[in-house]
Amino acid sequence: MKIHVTINGVPTDVKVAPNEKLLDMLRRMGYYGVKFGCGRGECGVCTVILDGQAVMACLTFAAQAHNKSVITVEGIGQPGNLHLIQEAILDHGAAQCGYCTPGIVCSAKALLDENPHPTEVQVREALKGNLCRCTGYQKYVEAILDAAEKLRETSGRLE
């Protein structure tokens, strides 16, 4: 079957199998920032943003993305053109192996788009589905809170 989906802002038609997962579709299209860790919704390294919501791509059928917008880490910021969340993660030295990082960037982006003033507890809640074995999360949490503040400043300037 064919679906119509906007990936990182670019509308595309994609042929998908009825039981194909969004994770497999995206990876086969070259979005390698979407990672595989368990394939059953338990680790969050496959997290992407589907119509504004952070979802696990390994649990989502590709067909569910029909007529929707998908944002992967590649769509949030690129080398030389980083999003403030990514800048903050670098400045805080938060990422270690980086395997969980794309998923965490997506969860953080979905959170901050919805709630520009999150508390530390809310940030931790938003990362609940993103397992990280390297960092103990603390520097990620600090980075996201820092990014939230910087994003508020920039959007304040724009208004």
Partner 1 sequence: MKRPKYRSVGQNQRKVDGEALVTGQARYVDDIELRGMLYGKILRSPHAHARILEIDADEARGLPGVHAVLTHHNVPRIQYTTAGQGAPEPSPKDTFVLDEKVRYVGDSVAAVAAETAQIAEEALKKIKVRWEVLPAVLDMEQAMTPDAPRIHEMPSANEISNPEKNIAAQVEVTDGDPERGFAEADLVVENHYRAGRVHASHTEPHICITCLDEAGRLVVRTSTQVPFHVRRIIAPLVNLPIGKIRVIKPRIGGGFGAKQEVLLEPICALLTLKTGRPVRIRLTREEEFISSRTRHAQILRSKVGAKSDGTITATELEVLADTGAYGSHALTVQCNTGSKSLPLYRTHQYRKGVNNVHFKATAVYTNLPVAGAIRGYGAPQGFFALDSTLDEMAHKLKMDPIDFRLKNLVRKGDSPALLEKLGEGREGVKQILKSCGVRECIKRGMAEIEWQQKRARKNGGVVRRGVGMAVLQQGSGIPGIDMGAVTIKLNEDGSFNLMTGATDLGTGSDTILAQIAAEVLGTAADKCHVFSSDTDLTPYDTGAYASSTTYITGMAAKKAAEEIRRKVLARAVRMLSEKRGDLTLENGRVKGRKKSISLGEVCADALYEHDQEQIMATASHISYDCPPPFAAHFADVAVDTETGQVRVLKYVAAVDCGTAINPQLAEGQTLGGIHMGLGYALSEEYQFDDRGRLMNPRFLDYKILSASDMPEIKVILVPTFEPTGPFGAKSVSEIPTNGPAPAIGNAIFHALGVRLREVPFTPERVLKALRNA
Residue ranges that bind partner 1, judged by CB under 8 A: 31-40, 42-43, 45, 72-74, 77-79, 82, 86, 89-102, 105, 121, 123-125, 127-141
Q: Give the nearer residue to partner 1 in terms of CB position, either 121 or 158.
A: 121
Q: How far is the CB of 86 from ligand FES (least distance, A)?
A: 14
E strands present in 78-131: none
Contacts of 76 (CB under 8 A, 6+ apart): 83, 85, 86, 105, 106, 109
Taking the complex as a whole, how short is the minimal distance between the CB of residue 81 and partner 1, in angstroms?
9
State CA 31 to chain mean position distance: 12
User: In one letter, which amino acid is 132?
Assistant: C
Tell me the closest approach of the beta carbon of residue 103 to ligand FES, in angstroms.
8
Cβ proximity to partner 1, 60 vs 135, nearer residue: 135
Whole-number CA gyration radius for the chain: 15
Name the residue among 39, 35, 38 with its Cα closest to residue 20.
39
- Give the nearest distance from C-beta 112 to partner 1 in angstroms: 15
Residues paired with residue 68 on neighbouring β-strands, in sequence order: 5
Q: Which secondary structure element, helix H or strand E, spans residue 3, and what is its range?
A: strand 2-7
Residues within the interface to ligand FES (CB under 6 A)? 36-39, 41-46, 56, 58, 95-100, 132-135
Q: Which entry of ligand FES, partner 1, none binds 110, CB below 5 to 8 A by partner kind? A: none
- Among partner 1, ligand FES, none, what binds residue 153 when CB lies within 5 to 8 Å by partner kind? none
- Residue corresponding to tokens 């929707």: 68
Taking CB within 5 to 8 Å according to partner kind, which of partner 1, ligand FES, none is near residue 73?
partner 1
